[in-house]
């Protein structure tokens, strides 16, 4: 049975049982606690917690999931995927244990011709929580399972939660016995490779508190009502029904392995080590495609880092299998072709998906080449010195200078039989920079008890009047302070305010919230920010300036007109820049994010490589042409599918409802799904000045611009600067660029002449160093401080020149500089010295600690840097002592 058919049968089975089908949510959830959706029930959490009233009593879904904790297990076990599909049926205060066991048993064991999966009931086992006698009796009554095929297990195995505070409860897991050829007897407790878990029935009845493990959290109390949450692993059911050995050999994953075989010339199944690499490629390629499709781009933090790690593991695994050519395009194409039946958006968005994945591969191939050489050098130095651990500083240099992820360093070290000082690496990372903060919206509500808002979410959305007016009469529905409702707020207090209607825009879609005031009889309140709860309830964050604000007050909400005017200019300008980008760069320049506020906009988009000066000029020109054309700005509401058919642009990773608002500027010039505020005609945006373009991640670029009056002020400042230069250079303004270029060229020539003079001066001292060389055994040794002020590049030139003057005579040159608190050093050996077993790279380890330094190189030359100039005399002594030891 094919995987797409398994999905279809699950949905059909539960629809017939009265469940409402719910589409899969995006893998990227607006939740600061989760990188990705990791279970089918995540999108239903507000219903389980009682924070929102579900619109249905029963639901069914097949949810996209990613679990990053299993990355190291991918390919090693038979059952771990980073991306998987979780089929689930849910009850919100409707049915409970007995019904859900019956529903699952019927689907699993009914004959294929009757719509079931046709599993042999004699090979099905169940587990239950230690004291859940009720569940055990139900399995006996409903499924007829004998006692010996029902096992009691502890909290770590049979008490489910998301791993963070939230809903939880005891569970009952369903296992399938693959047979004695796959392991020992004894049920799931004995061998979970033979007995494969395929379905987890969670009796969601409690709420858990903080904790770090599966069984060390506190049960806070019961949920408002008992619920059912189940999760059936689609991939696990597929590999059992398709009678293959593991999840990597199913119909949706094996084709990627086949492609890797073609590219590498290797055969899957030839040995365990190669098989793990094949599986890593197949699993990670699928996960990467699904993440990119939901708007994730490679980066150095959070979700972007996970994606980057997956893509880089694919590249390295392919290389280790023997694939020499770029392969990412081939892998993601196979994923598209196999997954498209269930996820047609992969076909629609494939050009962007491929561009992001291939761009990361291209960047990493360069990193892999340079970083691997440095890693091999570090590993050789450690091994030569009899060590087993690569220092944290070497791992940091690999990461910071060469973009080598620590995970890859750890993997390569393990393959070489070495360890890495990971604690030292983490310390250096912490000293260099702090990790990126969570998304701004998530930060604002990360630890808020949202149950206080449930009444207002259930009441229906706040009426937003700001499209038509700047001032609105309103009623104060609630005041909230510290997550608790309060009846009043006095002057000087900060409080959250919920109104029944408001003209103030709540932050969304890249547009910052409006600012303004709320007034009433003897009352004045400053609105600093406006945020949304559950995308429907406007929460005004305010300070009471005068009077007393009371729940039930009749008030007037005012939007700051100057702020709104600037905000609409910025937002409409963002749409025009997006349209210009698509005109100049093509349809693959797709929006990846934005931010706009009065006078300023930034626009992130997918594109490989920096823009040329000509392209930037063209984008600015096309944008301002659109401003000058005075296009009408039209908005209308339509169905999501209809909007897509019109060609309306959507932000990837954003979840849209069935009805969407479309903003049209200049007909086909810009047509986008957008809930923001806009100008009425494009001319009202004013001039748009592109400030610059930069990279914000692999395959993602950013354009920044000023609009309106801020654009004019910027241009006026630039004009004044140009006039000042013209005055200083005593030329007309149109001749300033040529005169500056002439001056720069003259400076460049002067610097070259100065460099040649300095190099000659440095080399002139080479003879004196040779004359002062000491003899250690049969080796001539120059170990000394370098001339004052000599930079690292000149130091190497001088050391090699001194070495050359000794010819083939056994000789070692070790020079130490002192430049701005750093201690650059160079060690060079002649062929005669190397014949005696003296290697430059090995000498570095003898004196490095004296100057707090590190470095490396080959037997003929090595170099590096230290941080303690006071240790130079000790370093010189260490070099001489080591040479004496070897020479003797």
Tens-digit pLDDT profile for residues 275-285: 999 999 999 99
pLDDT tier at 767, thresholds 50, 70, 90: confident
Comparing C-alpha atoms, which of 5, 210, 206, 201 is closest to residue 104?
201
Q: Using CA atoms, how far apart are residues 505 and 677, in angstroms rounded to an integer?
A: 8
The predicted pLDDT at position 430 comes to: 74
Query: Most confidently modeled of 675-684, 691-700, 725-734?
Result: 675-684
Tokens 């690999």: give the residue: 398
H or E, element range at 524: strand 523-533
Binding residues: 571, 575, 674, 678
Binding residues for Zn(2+): 571, 575, 674, 678
227 has a pLDDT exceeding 60? yes
765 or 96, higher pLDDT: 96
Instruction: Retrieve residue 321's tokens.
Output: 């299998």
Per-residue DSSP letters for 650-682?
--TT----SEEEEEEETGGGEEEE--S---SBG
> 138, 203 in Cβ contact below 8 A?
no
- Mean confidence (pLDDT) of the chain: 88
Least confident of 73-77, 171-175, 678-682, 783-787: 73-77
Instruction: Retrieve residue 672's tokens.
Output: 């986008």
Tokens 């050999």: give the residue: 249
Per-residue DSSP letters for 723-770?
HHHHHHHTS-GGGHHHHHHHHHHHHHHHHHHHHHHHHHHHHTTHHHHH
Which CA distances in Å does 325 have to 316, 331, 591?
A: 12, 12, 30
> 258, 250 in Cβ contact below 8 A?
no
Per-residue DSSP letters for 586-626?
-TT--EEEEEEETTEEEEEEE-SSPPPHHHHHHHHHHHHHH
SS3 state of residue 540: strand
pLDDT tens digits, 122-158: 999 999 999 999 999 999 999 999 999 999 999 888 9
The predicted pLDDT at position 627 comes to: 95
Q: Say how far residue 102 (Cα) sits from the centre of its chain.
A: 41
Mean pLDDT of 286-294: 94
243 has a pLDDT exceeding 70? yes
755 or 332, higher pLDDT: 332
Burial 451-484 (b: 16+ CB within 10 A, else e): ebbbebbeeeebebbbeeebbbebebbbbbeeee
665 has a pLDDT exceeding 60? yes
Strand partners, 195: 177
The predicted pLDDT at position 81 comes to: 84
Mean pLDDT of 271-277: 91
Mean pLDDT of 738-751: 89
pLDDT tens digits, 356-407: 899 889 888 877 776 777 788 778 878 877 788 888 878 887 776 666 767 7
587 or 747, higher pLDDT: 747
Q: Using CA atoms, how far apart are residues 498 and 482, in angstroms rounded to an integer?
A: 14
The predicted pLDDT at position 99 comes to: 96
The predicted pLDDT at position 360 comes to: 87
Tokens 């983490």: give the residue: 426
pLDDT tier at 342, thresholds 50, 70, 90: very high
297 or 498, higher pLDDT: 498
pLDDT tens digits, 594-607: 999 999 999 998 88
Burial 770-797 (b: 16+ CB within 10 A, else e): beebeebeebbbbbbbbbeebbbebbbb
Q: Using CA atoms, how far apart are residues 387 and 389, in angstroms rounded to an integer?
A: 6
Strand partners, 782: 813
The predicted pLDDT at position 432 comes to: 60
The predicted pLDDT at position 298 comes to: 87
Question: Which pairing describes strands 861-866 and 823-829: parallel, antiparallel, or unpaired?
Answer: antiparallel
Mean pLDDT of 293-311: 86
Tokens 């001039």: give the residue: 687
The predicted pLDDT at position 699 comes to: 74
The predicted pLDDT at position 439 comes to: 35
Cβ-based neighbour number of residue 595 at 10 Å: 18
pLDDT tier at 62, thresholds 50, 70, 90: very high
Q: Say how far residue 516 (Cα) sits from the centre of its chain.
A: 35
* DSSP code, position 222: E
Q: Using CA atoms, how far apart are residues 753 and 149, in angstroms rounded to an integer?
A: 87
Cβ-based neighbour number of residue 304 at 10 Å: 19
In degrees rounded to 5, what are phi and psi of residue 746?
-60, -40
The predicted pLDDT at position 436 comes to: 34
pLDDT tier at 811, thresholds 50, 70, 90: very high
Least confident of 9-18, 196-205, 208-217, 462-471: 208-217
First to last CA, the chain: 75
The predicted pLDDT at position 654 comes to: 65
The predicted pLDDT at position 438 comes to: 36
The predicted pLDDT at position 363 comes to: 81
> 515, 579 in Cβ contact below 8 A?
no
């Amino acid at each position: 049975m094919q995987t797409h058919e398994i999905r279809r049968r699950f949905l059909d089975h539960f629809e017939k049982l009265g469940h409402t089908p719910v589409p899969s949510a995006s893998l990227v959830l607006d939740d600061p606690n989760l990188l990705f959706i990791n279970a089918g029930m995540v999108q239903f959490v507000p219903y389980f917690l009682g924070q929102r009233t579900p619109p249905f009593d029963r639901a069914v879904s097949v949810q996209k999931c990613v679990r990053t904790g299993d990355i190291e297990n991918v390919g090693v076990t038979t059952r771990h995927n980073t991306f998987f599909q979780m089929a689930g049926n849910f009850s919100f205060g409707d049915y409970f244990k007995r019904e859900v066991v019956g529903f699952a048993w019927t689907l699993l064991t009914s004959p294929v011709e009757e719509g079931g999966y046709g599993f042999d009931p004699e090979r099905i086992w169940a587990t239950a929580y230690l004291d859940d006698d009720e569940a055990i009796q139900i399995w006996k009554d409903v499924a007829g399972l004998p006692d010996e095929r029902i096992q009691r297990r502890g909290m770590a195995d049979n008490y489910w939660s998301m791993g963070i505070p939230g809903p939880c409860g005891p569970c009952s897991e369903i296992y399938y016995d693959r047979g004695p050829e796959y392991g020992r007897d004894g049920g799931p407790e004995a061998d979970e490779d033979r007995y494969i878990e395929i379905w987890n029935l969670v009796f969601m009845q409690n709420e858990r508190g903080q904790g770090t493990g599966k069984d060390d959290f506190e049960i806070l109390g019961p949920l408002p009502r008992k619920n059912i949450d189940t999760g059936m692993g689609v991939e696990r059911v597929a590999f059992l029904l398709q009678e293959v050995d593991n999840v990597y050999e199913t119909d949706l994953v094996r084709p990627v392995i086949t492609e890797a075989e073609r590219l590498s010339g290797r055969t899957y199944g030839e040995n365990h080590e190669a098989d793990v690499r094949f599986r890593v490629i197949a699993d990670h390629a699928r996960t990467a495609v699904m993440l990119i499709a939901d708007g994730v781009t490679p980066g150095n933090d959070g979700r972007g880092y996970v994606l980057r790690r997956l893509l880089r593991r694919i590249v390295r695994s392919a290389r280790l299998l023997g694939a020499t050519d770029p392969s990412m395009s081939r892998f993601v194409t196979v994923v598209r072709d196999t997954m498209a039946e269930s996820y047609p958006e992969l076909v629609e968005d494939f050009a962007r998906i491929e561009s992001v994945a291939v761009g990361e591969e291209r960047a990493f191939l360069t990193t892999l080449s340079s970083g691997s050489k440095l890693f091999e050098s570090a590993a050789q130095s450690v091994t030569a010195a009899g060590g087993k651990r690569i220092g944290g500083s070497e791992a940091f240099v690999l990461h910071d200078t060469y973009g080598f992820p620590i995970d890859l360093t750890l993997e390569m070290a393990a393959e070489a039989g070495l360890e890495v000082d990971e604690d030292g690496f983490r310390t250096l990372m912490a000293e260099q920079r702090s990790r990126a903060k969570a998304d701004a919206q998530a930060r604002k509500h990360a630890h808020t008890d949202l149950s206080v808002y449930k009444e207002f979410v259930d009441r229906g959305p706040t009426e937003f009047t700001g499209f038509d007016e700047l001032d609105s009469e309103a009623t104060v529905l609630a005041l909230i302070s510290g997550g608790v409702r309060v009846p009043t707020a006095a002057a000087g207090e900060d409080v959250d305010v919920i109104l029944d209607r408001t003209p103030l825009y709540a932050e969304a879609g890249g547009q910052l919230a409006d600012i303004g005031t709320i007034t009433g009889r003897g009352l004045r309140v400053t609105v600093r920010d406006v945020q949304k709860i559950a995308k429907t309830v406007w929460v005004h964050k305010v300070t009471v300036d005068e009077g007393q604000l009371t729940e039930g007050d009749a008030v007037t909400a005012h939007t700051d007109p100057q702020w709104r005017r600037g905000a609409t200019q910025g937002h409409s300008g963002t749409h025009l820049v997006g349209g210009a980008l698509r005109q100049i760069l093509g349809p693959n320049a797709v929006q990846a994010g934005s931010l706009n506020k009065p006078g300023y906009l930034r626009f992130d988009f997918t594109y490989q490589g920096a823009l040329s000066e000509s392209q930037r000029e063209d984008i600015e020109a096309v944008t301002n042409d659109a401003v000058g054309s005075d296009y009408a700005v039209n908005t209308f509401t339509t169905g999501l599918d209809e909007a897509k058919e019109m060609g309306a642009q959507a932000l990837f990773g954003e979840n849209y409802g069935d009805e969407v608002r479309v903003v049209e500027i200049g007909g086909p010039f810009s047509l986008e799904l957008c809930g923001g505020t806009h100008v009425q005609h494009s001319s009202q945006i004013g001039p748009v000045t592109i400030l610059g373009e930069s990279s914000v991640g692999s395959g993602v670029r950013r354009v920044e611009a000023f609009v309106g009056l801020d654009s004019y002020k910027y241009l006026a400042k630039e004009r004044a600067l140009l006039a000042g230069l013209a005055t200083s250079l005593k030329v007309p303004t149109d001749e300033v660029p040529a005169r500056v270029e002439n001056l720069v060229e003259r400076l460049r020539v002067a610097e070259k002449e100065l460099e040649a003079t300095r190099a000659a001066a440095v080399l002139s001292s080479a003879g004196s160093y040779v004359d002062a060389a000491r003899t250690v055994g049969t080796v001539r040794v120059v170990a000394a401080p370098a001339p004052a002020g000599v930079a690292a590049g000149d130091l190497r030139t001088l050391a090699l020149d001194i070495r050359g003057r000794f010819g083939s005579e056994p000789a070692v040159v070790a020079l130490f500089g002192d430049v701005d608190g750093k201690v650059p050093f160079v060690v060079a050996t002649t062929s005669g010295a190397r014949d005696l077993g003296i290697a430059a790279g090995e000498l570095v380890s003898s004196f490095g600690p004296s100057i707090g330094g590190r470095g490396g190189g080959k037997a003929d030359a090595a170099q590096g840097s230290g941080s303690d100039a006071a240790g130079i005399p000790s370093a010189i002594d260490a070099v001489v002592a080591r040479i004496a030891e070897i020479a003797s």
